[in-house]
Amino acid sequence: MTIFIIYKVFLCSVILILSLLVAMYSTLIERKVAAFLQDRIGPDRAGPFGLLQPLADGIKLFFKEEFMPNTADKFLYILGPSLTMLIALLTSAVIPWSIPVIIGGKIYPLQVADINIGILYIFAIVSMGVYGIMIGGWASNNKYALLGAVRASSQMISYELAMGLSIISLAMMTGSLSLKDIVEQQQGFHWNIFYQPLAFLIFLVCAFAETNRSPFDLPECETELVGGYHTEYSSMKLGFYLFAEYVNMFVSGAIMATLFFGGYHFPFVDKLGLSNNTLAVVGFFILFTKITFFGFLFMWIRWTLPRFRFDQLMRLGWKALIPLAILNILITGIVILVR
Amino acid sequence: MDKTFVPADYIPILVQFAVAFGFVLITMTLTHIIGGKRKKIHTIRKEENFECGIEVKGNARFPFSVQYFLIAILFVLFDVEIIFFYPWAINFKSTGWNGFFEMLLFLGFLMFGFYYIIQKGAFKWD
């Protein structure tokens, strides 16, 4: 039992450090991608190709003065960003990163928790993300922050519905909510994307809305709301809000890769004849490549599409995505039963 | 499913929570300790809320559009209904056409309510 706990603590720490590192470097890659799309060079002063830029940004945020408006609710003002970060780091617990590693006859699964309601766990944690933003926006007692927070919560809960509905058709096919089972069923090239393209499309749009990424970044829409819910934040509290967005991006990319793109599986795996542990490492890099692709997609769309208006956002969420997801459930049901 | 699931499966989630909580706590404390102490000057103007440089008018805890509350209430309703779908979806292959038609009935009621709220103008923003 003690070894079990120690192993889990180790695995959690590794995943935590990995997601933070990825989040840090996503900020650099985001700026590089933006520069590439706009025919600029991007940050290149700190280290070779600007590789030390995220480090410089992080250290800067640490040394900044902690500002708090005198009318703010002090406890909630600190709780807001902490909660956002905490929740962003919790989601990765159920993602299977690769096949189990076998060392000295013992099996070490590369998944923190293999629970049978993995998808429901993700939804539960993601829906708690609303609190971090709402608490932060309300506590700073700023009108822009409040408007941003209200918009954010409204948008996140609306798109959660379509997200939940789009996964139902997947659950009908796989008969399981455990992410491990879902990945195992996609062995080789039987990826769910080929059977559920519509569900994936709905899930992708909702993932953009849930992470508050452009074209759904109305909560922090700088042209009308200054900085949205984090207008009054500075130092690492602001850093937490910004980092949490990138951690969420990373995790939602991992979830999409796991649910629809076969997770750590790749075609022609049997023909290579690799040993178990090598396969685990290769599988992890395969999953990581898929996540990187989604990360690039998030950035590509951010620098390509303009922002929605709030009524358009709500109309898309309620009047287009929800009926579409229900239609998808019906079609999936009929196809499964007829076959 | 040949594997049995026990409540002990959730222990790793507690571990993850502890690790994440520790990270957040340490970072928050660290930034509080090392963050720019030298310049801690408190003035009224500085600690005012930001309002694009003009005089702050009143408090931000004011009543806002009822539309947002309506969305929140509808979310609670629909989210509960969506959770009802999950057990059905998991057992879909064993319930067959029977289960499908029974769910269609449920879906019919849900869609009727959905149509009703759209016609009532719950999503009309102006």
pLDDT in tens, A110-161: 788 888 888 888 888 888 888 888 888 888 888 888 888 888 888 888 888 8
Of A153, A176, A315, the CB nearest to B123: A315
Q: Do B49 and A164 touch (CB under 8 A)?
A: no
Identify the residue among A135, A222, A337 best suited for mutation to test binding to B, counting B beta carbons within 10 A and taking the highest.
A337
Distance of CA B88 to the CA centre of its chain: 24
Q: Name the residue in chain A with its Cα closest to that of B69.
A: A154
Domain that holds residue A320: 2-338
> What's the pLDDT at B40?
64
Domain count, chain B: 1
Taking CB atoms and an 8 Å cutoff, what residues of chain B touch A329?
Answer: 85, 89, 107
Taking CB atoms and an 8 Å cutoff, what residues of chain A touch B5?
Answer: 115-116
> What's the pLDDT at B36?
66
Taking CB atoms and an 8 Å cutoff, what residues of chain A touch B19?
Answer: 9, 12-13, 16
Q: Do B50 and A142 touch (CB under 8 A)?
A: yes
Q: Do B125 and A314 touch (CB under 8 A)?
A: yes
Give the residue, B38 or A34, on which the prediction is more confident: A34
> What's the pLDDT at B1?
46
Domain count, chain A: 1
Question: ipTM of this model?
Answer: 0.83
Taking CB atoms and an 8 Å cutoff, what residues of chain A touch B26?
Answer: none
B72, part of any domain: yes
Q: Name the residue in chain B with its Cα closest to that of A8.
A: B12
CA atoms within 13 A on the CB side of A326: 18
Cα separations (Å) of A161 from A86, A156, B55?
A: 23, 9, 41
pLDDT tens, chain B, 126 aa long = 456 777 777 888 888 888 888 888 888 888 878 876 655 677 777 777 777 767 777 777 777 778 888 888 888 888 888 888 888 888 888 888 888 888 889 889 888 988 888 888 777 776
CA atoms A258, A162, B72, A316: torsion sign: positive
- Mean pLDDT of all residues belonging to chain A: 84
Q: Which of A37-46, A288-297, B10-19: highest mean pLDDT?
A: A288-297
Closest by CA to B81, choosing from A165, A210, A207, is: A165
Condensed to tens digits (0 to 9), the pLDDT of residues A306-319 reads 888 888 888 888 88
Domain that holds residue B104: 66-126
Question: Which residues numbered 87-126 in B keep a CB inside 8 Å of some CB on A?
Answer: 89-93, 96-97, 100, 103-104, 107, 111, 114, 118, 123, 125-126
> What's the pLDDT at B28?
85
Mean pLDDT throughout A90-96?
A: 86
CATH number where B112 lies = 1.20.58.1610
> What's the pLDDT at B3?
64
B86, part of any domain: yes
> What's the pLDDT at A213?
81
Contact yes or no for B125/B67 (Cβ under 8 A): yes
B47 vs A: CB within 8 A: yes
Q: Do B34 and A70 touch (CB under 8 A)?
A: no
Q: Do B11 and A8 touch (CB under 8 A)?
A: yes
B26 vs A: CB within 8 A: no
Confidence of residue A14 (pLDDT cuts 50, 70, 90): confident
Question: C-alpha angle A209/A29/A226, rounded to 5°?
Answer: 50
pTM of the predicted protein model: 0.88
Taking CB atoms and an 8 Å cutoff, what residues of chain B touch A78?
Answer: 28
Element (DSSP H or E) covering residue A99: strand A98-103
Of B15, B35, B52, the CB nearest to A62: B35
Contact yes or no for A120/A179 (Cβ under 8 A): no
Condensed to tens digits (0 to 9), the pLDDT of residues A231-290 reads 878 788 888 888 888 888 888 899 988 888 887 877 776 677 677 778 888 888 888 888
Residues 6+ apart with CB under 8 A from A68: A74, A77, A232, B47
